[in-house]
Structure 1
Amino acid sequence: MEGKKRFVLGSSSAIRFTLIQSLLKKEDFDVHPPDIDEEVLDKELPREYVKRIAEAKAEKVSRTVDNEYVICADTAVALGRRILPKAVSDDLVRQCLKQLSGRRHRVYTCLCVIRRSLNADGVQHVKRVKVVESRVRFKRLTQHEIQWYVDSKEGLDKAGGYSIYGKSQALILFLSGSVSGVQGLPLLELKNLLTSVGVDV
Structure 2
Amino acid sequence: MSAIYLASQSPRRRELLSQLGIEFVQFSVDADETPFENESARQLVERLARLKAETGVAMGYEDRPVLGSDTVVVYDNHIMGKPTDFEDFQRMMKQLSGRTHQVLTAIALSSTHKTMSKVVTTDVTFKPLSDDEITAYWHTQEPLDKAGGYGIQGRAGAFVTHLSGSYFAVMGLPLYETQELIAEFNNEL
- TM-score, shorter chain, exceeding 0.5: yes
CA apart distance, 1:51: 0.8
| CA shift digits 1:73-128 (9 cap, x unpaired) | 00000012210011244333222111111111000000001122xxxxxxxx1321
Does 2:91 correspond to 1:95?
yes
Higher helix share: 2
CA contact (8 A) 1:106 1:135 kept: yes
Does 2:17 correspond to 1:7?
no
Q: Which residue pairs with 1:37 in the alignment?
A: 32
TM-score by length of 2: 0.92
Aligned counterpart in structure 2 of residue 175 of structure 1, from 156, 163, 171: 163
| Distance in 1 separating the partners of 2:132 and 2:141 | 15
Question: Is the partner of 2:56 in helix, strand or coil?
Answer: helix
Does 2:57 correspond to 1:62?
yes
TM-score by length of 1: 0.87
Question: Is the partner of 2:8 in helix, strand or coil?
Answer: coil
CA contact (8 A) 2:56 2:66 kept: yes
CA contact (8 A) 2:123 2:163 kept: yes
| CA shift digits 1:45-98 (9 cap, x unpaired) | 110110111111111101222231100100000012210011244333222111
| CA shift digits 1:142-162 (9 cap, x unpaired) | 111111111111111000000
| Distance in 2 separating the partners of 1:159 and 1:23 | 24
| Distance in 2 separating the partners of 1:187 and 1:90 | 32
Greater C-alpha Rg? 1
Q: Which residue pairs with 2:74 in the alignment?
A: 78
Structure 2 unaligned blocks of 5 or more: none
Q: Which moved more, 1:161-170 or 1:105-114?
A: 161-170
Question: When the two structures are aligned, how many residues end up with a matched partner?
Answer: 185
Structure 1 unaligned blocks of 5 or more: 117-124
CA contact (8 A) 1:45 1:82 kept: no
How high is the sequence identity, in percent, across the aligned residues?
36
| Distance in 2 separating the partners of 1:86 and 1:31 | 23
| Distance in 2 separating the partners of 1:182 and 1:174 | 13
Q: Which moved more, 1:62-71 or 1:49-58?
A: 62-71
Q: Which residue pairs with 2:183 in the alignment?
A: 195
Question: Is the partner of 1:21 in helix, strand or coil?
Answer: helix
Question: Is the partner of 2:37 in helix, strand or coil?
Answer: coil
Q: 1:90 to 1:18 in 2, by over 3 A?
A: farther
| Distance in 2 separating the partners of 1:92 and 1:143 | 14
